[in-house]
């Protein structure tokens, strides 16, 4: 039993193989290029170098018990694997390439011997064993390089995500700095962010569950998931994804307001507690506002009055005065007209306009209460 498969190779293989190496390098590198047509010129150069180094080394190994790849040669293939990872190509294409190279190497070595003398079946078997074992060593080196690069990229990715989390949670970041940092973690835009408070033991699962859409920050007492706006941040999706996880979902606010959104989630947790179903801060703004939480009142005002935001200031103020009076007088147009010193038909016109803008909110008890609250605390017109 010999120590290496290539120790059993015939001594005359190297002499027979070397004249054919330039053509073999060209053919194998060309076949690899055809398998990866979009890889670019640098990949082609790297592959050509790697194939030349690999074939030279295989010829040197014939009849020896040396290890397949000394450090300087192994590093060529470690670097090739790392380059594949940097180009976001996984190991599948790399291993397929090596399998193709192994078949072509076996054919080249067999034909080289056959040109100088007859080749026995045992020699073909030994050649097959040696080429397979040798290419396994090449694959191990490439995979090692790919894994190293992925670990390095993961570490860099974690650092960038921590940077984005710090910018958002601290607040006050210049817009260009925040957006560039967000782009660095794969967020093409930085708009609304939804904070979710979670128990610490849910942090790891949240990282896996939300992937690139969220950033998880562990704070000692709990964890905060910062989720970018999108389908996965919609209420229905969150209600399903966070079921049974004792989560509190803060409001979706613009990225500069993330500290306020997190604080409102914390106040909601203090007010409503947690349970198996996620608690949404949106459901508790009125209660928070009545407890003196100005941030909750500001968000509630912005949302309830958003349909009127596009009106001219004078028209908007007229409608809001009318709406406040109408809510206070339980829908009595006569009382509203008397209070505002306008004709009842004017009240009817304004209410029709309000119904066009606010829709079913005028008939929803909760919405009417929140509108009353918003208007009661609204600065005087």
Neighbours of 332 (CB within 10 A): 14
Q: Report yes or no: 25 and 52 within 8 Å, Cβ to Cβ.
A: yes
Q: Is residue 250 within 8 Å of 169, Cβ to Cβ?
A: no
Return the SS3 of 333.
helix
CB 322 within 8 A of CB 354: yes
Residue 241 forms part of a structural domain: yes
pLDDT in tens, 119-148: 999 999 999 999 999 999 999 999 998 888
Assess contact for 246 and 274: CB atoms under 8 A. Answer: yes
Quick: pLDDT tens for 145-173.
888 888 887 788 888 999 999 999 999 99
Task: Retrieve residue 362's tokens.
Answer: 């005028």
Q: What is the pLDDT of residues 286-328, one digit of tens each?
A: 999 999 899 999 999 999 999 999 999 999 999 999 999 999 9
90 within domain boundaries: yes
Query: Residue 279, SS3?
Result: strand
d(CA 68, CA 51) in angstroms, rounded, equals 15
pLDDT tens-digit readout, 367-379: 999 999 999 887 6
As a whole number of Å, the CA-based R_g of the chain is 35
In a domain, 296, yes or no: no
Task: Name residue 223's beta-bridge partners.
Answer: 198, 218
Same domain, 88 and 129: yes
Cα(126)–Cα(131) distance, rounded to whole angstroms?
A: 9
Q: Are residues 240 and 313 in the same domain?
A: no
Token match 């690069």: residue?
149
Cβ(264)–Cβ(299) under 8 Å?
yes
- State mean pLDDT over 86-97: 79
- The reply to whether 185 falls in a domain is no
Look at residue 57 and tell me whether its pLDDT is greater than 90.
Answer: yes
Average pLDDT, the chain: 90
Is 260 inside a domain boundary?
yes
Do 216 and 132 have their domain in common?
no
Tell me how far the alpha carbon of residue 25 is from its chain's centroid.
40
Name the band, by pLDDT with cuts 50, 70 and 90, for residue 351: very high
Domain shared by 146 and 30, yes or no:
yes
Q: Enter the tokens of residue 289.
A: 């506002």
Q: Residue 257: which domain range?
A: 191-285
Q: Is residue 295 part of a domain?
A: no
CATH number of the domain to which 74 belongs: 1.10.490
The structural domain count of the chain equals 3
Distance separating alpha carbons of residues 127 and 13, to the nearest angstrom: 10
pLDDT at 104 > cutoff 70: yes
Q: If DSSP codes are grouped into helix, strand and coil, which group holds residue 118? A: coil
User: Domain boundary at 129, 153, 177, which?
Assistant: 153
Based on the domain organization, do 278 and 314 belong to the same domain? no
For the entire predicted model, the pTM comes to 0.63
pLDDT digits (tens, 9 = 90+) for 210-259: 988 999 999 988 999 999 999 999 999 999 999 999 999 999 999 999 99
Whether 197 and 253 share a structural domain: yes
Residue 244 · residue 205 · CB < 8 Å:
no
């Amino acid at each position: 039993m010999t120590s290496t498969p290539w120790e059993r190779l015939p001594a005359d293989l190297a002499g027979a193989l070397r004249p054919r190496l330039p053509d073999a390098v060209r053919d194998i590198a060309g076949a690899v290029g055809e398998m990866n047509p979009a890889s670019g010129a640098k990949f082609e150069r790297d592959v050509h170098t790697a194939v030349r180094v690999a074939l030279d080394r295989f010829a040197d190994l014939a009849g020896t018990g040396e290890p397949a790849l000394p450090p300087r040669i192994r590093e060529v293939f470690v670097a090739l694997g790392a380059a594949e990872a940097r180009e976001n190509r996984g190991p599948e294409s790399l291993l397929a390439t090596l399998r193709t190279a192994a078949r072509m190497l076996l054919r080249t070595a067999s034909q080289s011997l056959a040109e100088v003398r007859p080749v026995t079946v045992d020699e073909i078997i030994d050649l097959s064993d040696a080429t397979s074992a040798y290419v396994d060593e090449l694959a191990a080196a490439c995979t090692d390089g790919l894994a190293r690069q992925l670990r390095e990229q993961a570490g860099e990715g974690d650092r960038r995500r921590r940077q984005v989390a710090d910018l958002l949670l601290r607040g006050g970041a210049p817009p260009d700095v925040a957006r560039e940092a967000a782009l660095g973690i794969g967020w093409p835009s930085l708009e609304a962010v939804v904070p979710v408070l979670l128990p610490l033991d849910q942090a790891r699962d949240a990282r896996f569950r939300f992937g690139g859409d969220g950033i998880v920050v562990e704070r000692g007492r709990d964890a905060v998931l910062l989720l970018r706006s999108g389908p996965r941040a919609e209420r229905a999706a969150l209600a399903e994804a966070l079921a049974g996880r004792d989560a509190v979902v803060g409001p979706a606010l613009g990225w500069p307001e993330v500290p306020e959104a997190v604080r409102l989630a914390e106040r909601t947790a203090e007010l409503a507690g947690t349970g198996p179903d996620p608690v949404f801060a949106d459901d508790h703004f009125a209660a928070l506002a009545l407890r003196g939480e100005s941030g909750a009142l500001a968000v509630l005002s912005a949302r309830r009055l958003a349909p009127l935001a596009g009106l001219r200031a004078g028209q908007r103020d007229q409608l809001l005065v009318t709406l406040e009076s109408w809510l206070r007088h339980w829908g009595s147009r006569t009382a509203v007209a008397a209070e505002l010193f306008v004709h009842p038909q004017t009240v009817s016109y304004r209410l029709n306009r309000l119904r066009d803008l606010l829709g079913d909110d005028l008939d929803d008890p909760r919405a009417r209460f929140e509108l009353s609250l918003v208007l009661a605390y609204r600065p005087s017109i």
